[in-house]
A and B are shown apart, each in its own frame.
Chain A
Amino acid sequence: MSITEGDTCTIVAPVGHQGRDPVDLVGGLGSLESRPIAVLDISKVRSDVFVDAVERCIREAGTESVERGVALASKRMDEDEVRGLAERNDGAVLALADCGTCTSATLYDAVELHRNGCRAVLVTTEALRATVDALAPRLGLADLPVVEVELPNREQTAEEIADTATAAGPAILAALRG
């Protein structure tokens, strides 16, 4: 049996519709004074060093409160967790997305925070930027605020990580402010 019709073959596409419903970007917060902000740690080796430095930057910007929490590197947050964070905070910083699931899971969480009205900023590395750019539109928010740092976290010493995070501080604050 020939499957060729003229110069073409007909196949049933092996792909299906992909993607989640689009999300509206939560606008910039403007001044961070009197704003509650969540700082979420992927909770892997030395990630707390990075997040400590981010927290210092945010506190120095005069935020009302900083909620430290965990955005697990291996699993997306459940809906209740996202909703609770968004109810308590106007903004959130998730850091540092520097591995496969650290990035895919926190990116998902960041998009869902926007879906729930919280301006989330994802901090990732140069190495994972292509992943962020590929995933974000299909998770519903192509223009998710993202801050990129140069080096993968786990190839730096604790001191270098703190320096990298501190250097990224202004960009993180700017991404929150919009």
Chain B
Amino acid sequence: MTQTVQLEGDESAAVERLHEQGLTDGLPVVLPTPERVAAHVQAAGLPASELVALVPPMSGEATVEIVASNAVMAGCRPEYMPVLLAGVRAMCREEFNLYGVRTSNHPASPMFLVSGPLAAELGFGHGTNCFGPGSRANATVGRALNLIIQNVGGATPGPIDQAVLGHPGRYTYCIAEDPEAPWGPLHGTLGLDAGANAVTCFAGDAPRAVMDYASTEPEELLPAFARSVANVWRDPFYTMSEVLLIPSIAHARVLAKHGWTREEIKRRVGEQARAQCGELPLEAIGHVYEAGIHLTCAGGPWGQYSALVNGWVGPGPGSTMTTEEVAA
């Protein structure tokens, strides 16, 4: 049943009430009027009252309508709803451990990767400045998901969300995967058909740059990625942290130049990173560092810059990357 609330004053005043009640991220929001929310519910193609997930940490009930309300506030277009719903389901899966991720002192936050043909149809950006401004879909879907964690999950900054510093991805952290990735979509490695539309969720710190604008052969380029991976592995406080490598398409072309597959590139990066590290802190308990390397592809069409996003505490004691198919 729709839970409506009356806010005193005109629209500007009502938005101020939402700020005062801690229901925003500090940026202006669109007022979630019943008409606007209804349009988003209709686009979802599901009953308004249908439960999508219980959102950690406070096990908040996210119905389609409540997701839609946050979507309106974030500035989403109605047609983004199926992607948003998949994102909610992905981050609320038990193995993702959103409960831990968003009550930690650590800055990590869910990063969302949208893949499949629907990403382009809806305008999700994988190209130039994809982690920055430019795509309304990236900006607003990522923002809506963060608002849902806060408003529905109860991860309010302060007593519940204890991040010492956080990072800008806690406003929005959503990009598309480059459909031209030579090694196919990431969700294909996580149990979905390569042709599916999917949202993959990774508990990530802010992206860090991987630079090499000299190498023209894959063997020359690998050390740039290996150095960044080794920096994560050597740090004893990144407990089992996974790494998401995001070569730009320019770097991807070099890495795949001689037909190396995703698995071969990951194996070679792992070997080189290990060679740089020497003995690693968690080897004694049998942790296999190489198993935590993931490979996707995004970024502008030229310029030899890539990114690495390192994770929170990795699978087992921490968070496992999840993926959800976007319902047709």
Contact = CB atoms under 8 A, between A and B. Distances in A.
B279 interface: no
A16 B99 CA distance: 17
- Among A9, A11, A14, A101, chain B packs the most CB atoms within 10 A around the CB of A14
B152 A101 contact: no
A17 B2 CA distance: 13
A8 interface: yes
A138 B58 contact: yes
A128 to B, nearest CB: 8
Contacts of A134: 159-160
B66 A7 contact: no
Given A14-B73, A100-B103, A131 B23 contact: no
Interface string B34-63: 110100000000000000000101111111
A9 B313 contact: no
B105 A99 contact: yes
Interface in A33-54: none
Contacts of B58: 18-19, 138
Nearest to B23: A14
B163 interface: yes
A9 B9 contact: yes
Contact of B162 (A13, A72, A100): A100
A79 B56 CA distance: 17
Tier of interface size on chain B: 35 or more
A100 B105 contact: yes
Interface residues of A, number: 34
A29 B242 CA distance: 44
Interface string B148-160: 0001101000111
A3 to B, nearest CB: 5
Contacts of B328: none
A10 B58 CA distance: 26
B160 A74 contact: no
Interface in B47-92: 55, 57-63, 65-66, 68-70, 72-73
A135 B156 CA distance: 11
Contacts of A3: 11, 31, 33, 35
Nearest to A99: B105
A14 B70 contact: yes
A16 B61 contact: yes
Contact of B69 (A4, A12, A131): A12
Interface string A63-78: 0000000001011100
Contacts of B105: 99-101
Given A9-B14, A11-B31, A15-B151, A100 B104 contact: yes
B152 A104 contact: no
A178 B211 CA distance: 60
A9 B31 CA distance: 9
Interface of A: 1, 3-4, 7-20, 72, 74-76, 99-101, 103-105, 108, 130-131, 133-135, 138
Interface of B: 2-11, 13-14, 18, 23, 31-35, 37, 55, 57-63, 65-66, 68-70, 72-73, 97, 99-100, 103-106, 147, 151-152, 154, 158-160, 162-163, 239, 312-313, 317-318
12 contacts: A9-B6, A9-B7, A12-B2, A12-B34, A13-B66, A16-B61, A16-B66, A17-B61, A74-B97, A74-B318, A104-B57, A105-B103
